[in-house]
Amino acid sequence: MSVLAQSVGFGLITASVLALAAVGLSLQFGVTNYINFAYGEFLTIGAYLAWTLSHGLHLNVYLALVVATLIMGVLALLLNRFLLRPFTKKGVPLLFLLVVTFGLSLFLSNLTLAIWGPDFQSLDLPREVPHAFGPFLFTTSQLTIIGIAAVAMGALHILLTRTEIGKAMRAMSDSVDLAQISGIDTDRITSFTWLLSGCLAGLAGIVLAINITSFQPNFGGEFLFVIFAAVILGGVGSPYGAMLGALVIGLATEMSAVLINSAYKNDVAFALLILTLLLRPQGIIRMAGKAA
């Protein structure tokens, strides 16, 4: 099997992790119209919750994954309800709202450090067996990651196109005022969006932790700018753009590890982010009003 083919395989795995994270960030940005700089910590907390459930409470690792994802969703919902929504209701300028999420990221990353300590932890999946797919070779956990992402993206597509609540989210993304006039309960949709965004972040953190095998309290925060790269490349606020951006960034970073040097993986994501901002700031899929 060629090294390049294997790097494409790795790229697909990274893209799967990134797609979950990027869609969660992009959905929330689309609906609320501000970036959440504490999003990286959502990933970290998701992974640590799963670790506590599976190691501390001896839950089956897959069950722990589901429960931790839901808890992270509820935490995000509560953070919006009791911290961010009061600020937006007060009519705080965008500049300050961003500083609030920035301060929240410092608070949450150190809360994680205080609770779980600085040591490396890992989430273990049972039985790692290699599976061959054409030119690719995947372990069981890698296939699980790709499977989870594929199912989540499919479910999300159905949610956004077939359900009332998904259509309402897309309507709010286009224009909050018009959505409100059409009788959409924007508070409820915003709450639901935070729940969904938190779930996706938690899930992304868990699969990222599985993929990198061991993790520390700062691993989600360090991944944040790669998520930004995917979101901006795809087009801020567009969930389908985020999926596309994740695929491009995932493949580009992993293939560059083979072609250039694995030490510069992150720099490739950074270069793509800068190039997008210079050449096509609206991203691949353009959302009106999101990228002035």
Contact footprint for another protein (CB under 8 A): 34-35, 37, 83, 86-87, 92, 94-96, 98-100, 102-111, 113-114, 117-118, 221-222, 224-225, 228-229, 232, 236, 263, 266-267, 270, 273-274, 277-278, 281, 291-292
The nearest distance, CB 114 to another protein, in angstroms, is: 4
Nearer to another protein by Cβ, of 106 and 150: the residue is 106
Distance CA 52, CA 222 (A): 21
User: Helix 186-212 and helix 140-162: axis angle, to 10°?
Assistant: 170
What pairing do the DSSP bridges indicate for beta strands 136-138 and 131-133? antiparallel
Of 103 and 147, nearer to another protein (C-beta) is 103
Nearer to another protein, 13 or 226 (CB): 226
Extract the tokens encoding 169. 């989210």
Nearest distance from C-beta of residue 122 to another protein, angstroms = 19
Least Å distance, CB 140 to another protein, is 31
What is the number of other CB atoms lying within 10 angstroms of the CB of residue 83? 14
Of residues 95 and 129, the one with the C-beta less far from another protein: 95
Residue whose CB is less far from another protein, 32 or 69: 32
Helices vs. strands in the chain: H and E counts, helices first: 12, 2
Q: How far is the CB of 166 from another protein (least distance, A)?
A: 24
Residue tagged 């691949």 (tokens): 284
| Rounded least distance, CB 113 to another protein, Å | 4
Q: Which residues of 16-48 are buried (b: 16+ CB within 10 A; e: fewer)?
A: bbbbbbbbbbbbbbbbbbbbbbbbbbbbbbbbb
